[in-house]
């Protein structure tokens, strides 16, 4: 096999109470990435979309991740990469993670699966480092492992796949720009111990709720006294989105990654659709363009296209 | 039934990565508490031990908890209470929680189980408030529910019983005094966000490890960058205790509650015994008196004596 196509879905990081460690994978939207093995040690990228992303391999997260993989093999071959992005860059739902994870997952398939999932994430983390200035895996982990993941440590990598019950996500992507660096700078360097205790109590409860399939506990645990209060002012109508989603029956939710997307989790597809309607009503009056996605949780993350 | 005897075991709070929320119940040591219903609205306490605890009901945590219960019932009856404490007060393994939880659990048995577990904890919390100045439930929750518990919130009470695999605790109680107030005062008011993230990643991982029965993950997750560094200087030979326990095969551990007891968790009773030997060797040279306990985790917490 010299060519493979993979679907690399969007991912939601932080998940309200798990800042910088928790994430989950969506079924859609997803990028489509085709890799061909070539005889020359090179990475050639072409984009079939309108986002104007750089195609030079050292400027493109997929390219950076593939170069890291080829370097580790001291390879005498390379890859030709065609990327059709459907996850808009800067949306806060893991667009760069989809590119880099999709690319290394596809490459690993062409190489007969010689790399472990953790090794793939290590390669992809080189892309995240270039994109955001830090090595973080909270979008990469669900992209590669699927489902809900907890990154206990990024260096060395320690990723836990969490059990989870059926859940449906509704995601609104307001078409405004929030720079990750800006969203980081707005955060406090120090936090009150009391607030930190509350956050870790919530994260512990959230993980337990996933394992038990306890939707009400999941709902109560999606509370954040530290990150959300600092960042929510960057997102128009954030409080209304949350209040009306809860009123529509959603279990809870908040900022996806560093925004601007906002996600909500629901117990059923019907509630996820009601939540979508509520979000639509609120944003229709803002003059801000937006997309809304409804998706179940992907148990696999990146997968081979059928 | 007008008389009942219960066994109220020691409990370990904080559990390294779950400051102020996580706890577990031991099988032993335990206090023995006998309650008799009496016709007069009164609480009469006698102690069959040498700890010199106050017996006036408003000065004794068991008395305070029972008064709270009687008040809620506007009762025309009372209780006579005999307490034989085997959990030394001030040891950091939930001595006051054993008294108050044992008393309200026994009273509830005499009353036909009319109160829920959460209501019992609410009564017992009045005792903790009097003993330590704050309403906290991290020892009360495992005492009443047994096993491992997470207190997501103390007001309103939100307690989660966690799944857990077979585990054995080794606990050393150095006979030195650490005032809870002093152990609180030594803590930072604010903590670096980076350290807080690490702590909540560890707690999330610990809860997942309990649910999966993943002993290695449990071991990696018992890490605390915030509380332990501040408090460990209060406990002689803390670092040696930890290092030698790990060398003996223990999974991990740290300060029990606010100390001075130090606990370690092991996968088997044999390793718990080796850990005990290692602790014994270290403390034999200190000139500090100490007790060491080995116990499995109690799935029930307080229980009726057979």
E strands present in A124-261: 148-153, 158-162, 168-174, 190-192, 252-255
Structure pTM? 0.96
Confidence of residue B256 (pLDDT cuts 50, 70, 90): very high
Q: Cβ–Cβ of A22/B189 closer than 8 Å?
A: no
Give the model's pLDDT for residue B132: 81
Q: Cβ–Cβ of B203/A203 closer than 8 Å?
A: yes
Q: Cβ–Cβ of A201/B20 closer than 8 Å?
A: yes
Residue A134 catalytic?
A: no
Residue A177 structure tokens: 């720009």
Give the model's pLDDT for residue A113: 96
| pLDDT exceeds cutoff 80 at A1 | no
| pLDDT exceeds cutoff 80 at A52 | yes
Give the model's pLDDT for residue A95: 95
Terminal Cα-to-Cα distance of chain A (whole angstroms): 15
Mean residue pLDDT across chain B: 96
Q: What is the pLDDT of residues A202-215, one digit of tens each?
A: 999 999 999 999 99
Give the model's pLDDT for residue B131: 83
Mean residue pLDDT across chain A: 96
Out of A55, A180, A240, A300, pick the active-site residue: A180
Contact B120, B108 (CB under 8 A): yes
Label the pairing between strands A43-47 and A78-84. parallel
Give the model's pLDDT for residue A133: 81
C-alpha B128/C-alpha B90 separation (Å) is: 13
The answer to whether ipTM exceeds 0.90 is: yes
A29–chain B nearest CA distance, Å? 28
C-alpha B95/C-alpha B108 separation (Å) is: 20
Give the model's pLDDT for residue B183: 83
Q: What is the pLDDT of residues B101-141, one digit of tens each?
A: 999 999 999 999 999 999 999 999 999 898 888 888 999 99
Q: Which residue has the tokens 């890799």?
A: A35
C-alpha A180/C-alpha A172 separation (Å) is: 18
Q: What is the pLDDT of residues B218-232, one digit of tens each?
A: 999 999 999 999 999
Give the model's pLDDT for residue A179: 78
| pLDDT exceeds cutoff 90 at A306 | no
Average pLDDT of the residues in A138-148: 97
Give B158's contacts in chain A (Cβ within 8 Å). Answer: 205, 220
Cis peptide before A55 (omega within 30 of 0): no
Give the model's pLDDT for residue B141: 98
A60–chain B nearest CA distance, Å? 28
Determine contact: A185 vs chain B, CB below 8 A: no
Confidence of residue B179 (pLDDT cuts 50, 70, 90): confident
């Amino acid at each position: 096999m010299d060519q493979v196509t993979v679907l690399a879905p969007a991912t939601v990081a932080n998940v309200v109470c798990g800042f910088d460690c928790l994430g989950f994978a969506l079924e859609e939207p997803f990028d489509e990435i085709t890799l061909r093995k070539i005889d020359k040690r090179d990475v050639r990228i072409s984009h079939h979309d309108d986002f104007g992303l750089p195609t030079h391999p050292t400027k493109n997260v997929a390219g950076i991740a593939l170069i890291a993989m080829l370097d580790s093999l001291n390879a005498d071959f390379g890859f030709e990469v065609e990327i059709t992005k459907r996850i808009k860059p800067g949306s806060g739902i893991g667009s760069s993670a989809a590119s880099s994870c999709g690319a290394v997952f596809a490459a690993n398939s062409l190489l007969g699966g010689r790399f472990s999932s953790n090794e793939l994430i290590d390669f992809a983390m080189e892309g995240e480092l270039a994109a955001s200035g830090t090595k973080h895996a909270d979008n990469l982990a669900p992209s590669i492992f699927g489902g809900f993941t907890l990154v206990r440590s990024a260096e060395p990598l320690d990723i836990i796949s969490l059990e989870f019950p059926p859940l449906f996500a509704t995601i609104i992507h307001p078409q405004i720009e929030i720079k990750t660096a800006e969203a980081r700078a707005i955060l406090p360097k120090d936090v009150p111990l009391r607030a930190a205790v509350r956050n870790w109590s919530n994260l512990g409860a959230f993980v337990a709720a996933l394992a038990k399939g306890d939707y009400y506990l999941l709902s109560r645990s999606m509370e954040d006294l530290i990150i959300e209060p600092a960042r929510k002012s960057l997102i128009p109508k954030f409080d209304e989105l949350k209040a009306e989603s809860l009123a529509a029956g959603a279990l809870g939710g908040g900022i996806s990654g560093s925004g601007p997307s906002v996600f909500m989790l629901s117990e059923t597809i019907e509630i996820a659709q009601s939540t979508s309607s509520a979000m639509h009503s609120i944003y229709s009056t803002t003059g801000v363009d937006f997309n809304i996605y409804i998706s179940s949780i992907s148990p696999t993350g990146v997968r081979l296209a059928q």
